[in-house]
Amino acid sequence: TNMNNIRNFCIIAHVDHGKSTLADRLLEYTNTIDSRKMRQQFLDTMDIERERGITIKLVPVRMQYRANDGKEYILNLIDTPGHVDFSYEVSRSLAACEGALLVIDAAQGVEAQTLANAYLAVDQGLEIIPVINKIDLPGARPDEVLRQIEEVIGLDSSQAILVSAKEGIGIPEALEAIVKRVPPPTGNEDAKLQALIFDSIYDNYRGVISYVRVVNGCIKKGQSIFFMATRKEYEVEEVGFFTPFMSPAEELKAGEVGYVIANVKTIWEARVGDTITDANSPADKPLPGYKHIKPVVFCGLYPLDRDDFPRLREAIEKLQLNDSALAFEPETSEALGFGFRCGFLGLLHMDITIERLKREFEIDLVATAPTVAYEILLKDGEVIEARKPSDFPDPVKIEEIREPFIRLTIFLPSDYVGKAMKLCQDRHGEFVSLDYITPERVKLIYDLPLAEFIVDFHDRLKSLTRGYASIDYEQVGYRKSDLVKVDILIHGEPVDAFSFICHKDDAYKRALGVIKKLKELIPRQLFEVAIQASIGSRVIARENVKPLRKNVLAKCYGGDVTRKRKLLEKQKEGKEKMKMIGRVQIPQEAFLAFLQAN
C-alpha cells in the first residue's frame, strides 16, 4: 500500500451519542466483519463494557474500502470511550490519527464531552468531520445541532454529515468524507523506524502486545527493536493488523496502525507512550510521548483473605499494563493488613478497576472510601503531600492546606439551574460563569473541590436534574482551603482508619454522622465505651456505647449476601479476628463494614 491510500481516524463523542453503533455500521459496510458474526457494539469486547453499554478501552480496526474514485483505501478506525474518566484513552487514540468523526446526537445536541473531545482533537491538529447521528429519532433537531456546531464548538457546520447509525443512513457519505477530507499520514517509509505505542495489552501466552502507529520507517518479523524510554532491546516475533482480530502481516510501514509482539514478558519494558525504533539503526530521538497522567482519586484495596495479597499484586500489575493511568503502592492498615493504595483518574475509573479485579482475577476485595491528595505547607516552609488522613502532620505544624480543584462544566436545562447552583455552593464551589446555549439550555461553570465532587456529586446532580445534566471537568490545580482533620477516638485511643479530612464548616455534621454509625457497629463491651471526634485536642462530638454484650453480625451487615455468608463461614472456622483498640475489642468485620460504606 501507498501512504496516500491510508486514512487513520477515530470517532469521538459524548457518551451514548452513538460512536460504537456508527463503528458497527462502518465495519458492516466495508465488509470487515461477516454479517453472521456481527453483534451490536461489536468493538465493546469486555464483559463490563457490554453489560454497562459503555466503551472503556480504545479499540483499533483496519478496514478496506473502495471509494467512489475507484481506489482502494485502508481505513484505520479507533473507537474511543466517551466518559470523562477515560479521556486519557481518547487523547492517546488521537495521537495515532489524522482525523476524527465528531458524533453528535441529533436530539441531545452538544454536550459537555462533545466540547471537551472536540477541543482535544483541535489541539492535536486533526481534521474534524461533524456527524449528526440519530436523525431517525422523532425528537431529532438537526438544524439546531448544526447551529450549535458553529456557535458552541466553533466548527464549520456546512460540512456536517447527517447519519442514523441505527438505520444505516448516511454511512457511505461518512466513508467518502473520511477518504476526501482526512489527510493521508505523513512520514517516511525509508527513514529510521519510529513507532508510537498508543496502547498495550498483556496476554498470558504471548506477553505484551503493543498497539502501534508507525510514524517513520517500517517494522517486521525478526527485526531487532529498541524501546527508547526503557532502553530495552527485543526481537520482533510477529507484527500484524486488527481486522479487528489480530492477523499477522509481513510488516507495518510508515502511516500504518497495527500490533507488535516481541516476547516482552515484564510489563515495564514496553510502556504506552514510548517509541519503538530499530536497534541496529536507531532514530535520533523518540516521538513526543503522552503527558504523564496523574491519578487524582485514591483508595486502599485490601484482599479479604490475607493470603490473596500476592495474587492481588499480580492482578493490579497486569491491569496497569492495559491501563497506564492506574497507579499503586503498597500500604498497610492496622485494621485491614497488607494492601495497596491505588490512584485513579476518577470514580468510574476506580469502580471499573475494582470490578475487573474481582471478576477477571477472582479476588475478593475491600475498597476503602475514595480520597484526594492534599498539599500541606508546613510552618517551616516545607510542602508535603497527604494522600490519606494519617499522612497529615500535627495541626500545630501546619501553615496552610491546599486541595485539588476541578473546573466543572455542566450542560443542563435552564429550569434546573437554581438547583444545580445551590448544590455547587453547598459543596464549596466557586462560581465561574453561566451561558445560555439556547433559551432552554445552559452551560454552567463552577470551580469545585475535587474531594466534594467524588463523594456523590454526580449522583446528586443527576437526581436534582432528572438525569438531564451532563458534565465534564478538568483539573485546575491546588487551592488553599479551610480544611481540618477530624480524628476519631475510641475509649480515648485515636483510630487512624476512621479519621477524615473535611471543610471546617462541615466538620461537626460529618463527625456526628461517623460516630453515630460507629456506635451501631461497635459491640457493647463489659464497660462503657466513649466514641469521640476531635480536631487536634478539641473534642467536637461524642457518643457512648452502653456496657452489655451483643451479637455484632446481626447488626453490621446490610446488603451483600455473599459477603455475609463468607464472613459466617470464616467465623465457623474459628477465624474471626478481633482487633484490640486499647481495651476495646472490635471485630475485623466492623472495620470492614465501616470502611467500605463510608
What is the distance between the alpha carbons of residues 334 and 312, in angstroms, rounded to a whole number? 19
Quickly list H helices, 138-293: 142-148, 171-181
Range 164-203, binding ligand GDP (CB under 6 A): 164-166
Grid cell at residue 495: 483510630
SS3 of 503-537: the string is EHHHHHHHHHHHHHHHHHHCCCCCCCEEEEEEECC
> For residues 94 and 165, which CB has a smaller minimum distance to ligand GDP in the complex?
165
What is the distance between the alpha carbons of residues 181 and 183, in angstroms, rounded to a whole number? 6
Q: Which does 207 bind (CB under 5 to 8 A by kind): ligand GDP, Mg ion, none?
A: none
Per-residue x/- marks for Mg ion, 350-379, CB under 5 A? ------------------------------
> For residues 22 and 140, which CB has a smaller minimum distance to Mg ion in the complex?
22
Range 23-62, binding Mg ion (CB under 5 A): 55
Which residues on adjacent β-strands are paired with residue 199?
A: 211
- Segment contacting ligand GDP by CB under 6 A, of 158-166, 191-199, 212-220, 233-241: 158-166
Q: Which does 108 bind (CB under 5 to 8 A by kind): ligand GDP, Mg ion, none?
A: none
Q: Does 136 carry a binding-site annotation?
A: yes
- Cβ atoms 218, 252 nearer than 8 A: yes
Quickly list H helices, 416-506: 417-426, 450-464
- Cβ atoms 392, 386 nearer than 8 A: yes
Question: Which one among 8, 20, 333, 470 touches Mg ion, defined by CB under 5 A?
Answer: 20
Residue carrying the nine cell digits 473535611:
502
Q: DSSP character for 98?
A: S
- Segment contacting ligand GDP by CB under 6 A, of 129-137, 173-181, 296-304, 404-412: 129-137
Q: Which does 510 bind (CB under 5 to 8 A by kind): ligand GDP, Mg ion, none?
A: none
Which sign, positive or negative, has the C-alpha torsion 359, 365, 370, 374? negative
- Segment contacting ligand GDP by CB under 6 A, of 133-141, 215-223, 442-450, 554-562: 133-141
Helix (H, G, I), strand (E, B) or coil at 51: helix
We find the least distance from the C-beta atom of residue 169 to ligand GDP, in angstroms, to be 8
Q: Does 139 carry a binding-site annotation?
A: no
Helix (H, G, I), strand (E, B) or coil at 430: strand
> Closest Cα partner for 76 from 54, 103, 46, 99?
99
On the question of a cis peptide bond just before residue 183, with omega within 30 degrees of 0, the verdict is no
Which helix (H) or strand (E) segment holds residue 91: the answer is: helix 87-95
Q: Which does 137 bind (CB under 5 to 8 A by kind): ligand GDP, Mg ion, none?
A: ligand GDP
Q: Which does 564 bind (CB under 5 to 8 A by kind): Mg ion, ligand GDP, none?
A: none
What is the distance between the alpha carbons of residues 116 and 324, in angstroms, rounded to a whole number? 21
Q: Does 168 carry a binding-site annotation?
A: no
Q: Which does 458 bind (CB under 5 to 8 A by kind): Mg ion, ligand GDP, none?
A: none
Helix (H, G, I), strand (E, B) or coil at 85: helix
- Counting residues that bind ligand GDP (by CB under 6 A) gives 19
The reply on whether position 404 binds ligand GDP by CB under 6 A is no
Question: Residue 16 — left, alpha, or beta (φ > 0 → left; ψ -120 to 50 → alpha)?
Answer: left
We find the least distance from the C-beta atom of residue 130 to ligand GDP, in angstroms, to be 15
- Dihedrals phi, psi of 353, to nearest 5 degrees: -65, -45
We find the least distance from the C-beta atom of residue 44 to Mg ion, in angstroms, to be 6
Q: DSSP character for 304?
A: S
Q: Does 332 carry a binding-site annotation?
A: no
Per-residue x/- marks for ligand GDP, 463-482, CB under 6 A? --------------------
Q: Does 19 carry a binding-site annotation?
A: yes
Q: Does 17 carry a binding-site annotation?
A: yes
We find the least distance from the C-beta atom of residue 49 to ligand GDP, in angstroms, to be 9
We find the least distance from the C-beta atom of residue 117 to ligand GDP, in angstroms, to be 11
Per-residue x/- marks for ligand GDP, 12-51, CB under 6 A? -x-xxxxxxx-------------------x----------
Question: Which one among 8, 32, 55, 333 touches ligand GDP, defined by CB under 6 A?
Answer: 55
Q: How many CA atoms lie within 13 A of 121 on its CB side?
A: 29
We find the least distance from the C-beta atom of residue 55 to Mg ion, in angstroms, to be 3
- Cβ atoms 552, 564 nearer than 8 A: no
Q: Which does 15 bind (CB under 5 to 8 A by kind): ligand GDP, Mg ion, none?
A: ligand GDP
Contact residues toward ligand GDP (CB under 6 A) are 13, 15-21, 41, 53, 55, 82, 133-134, 136-137, 164-166
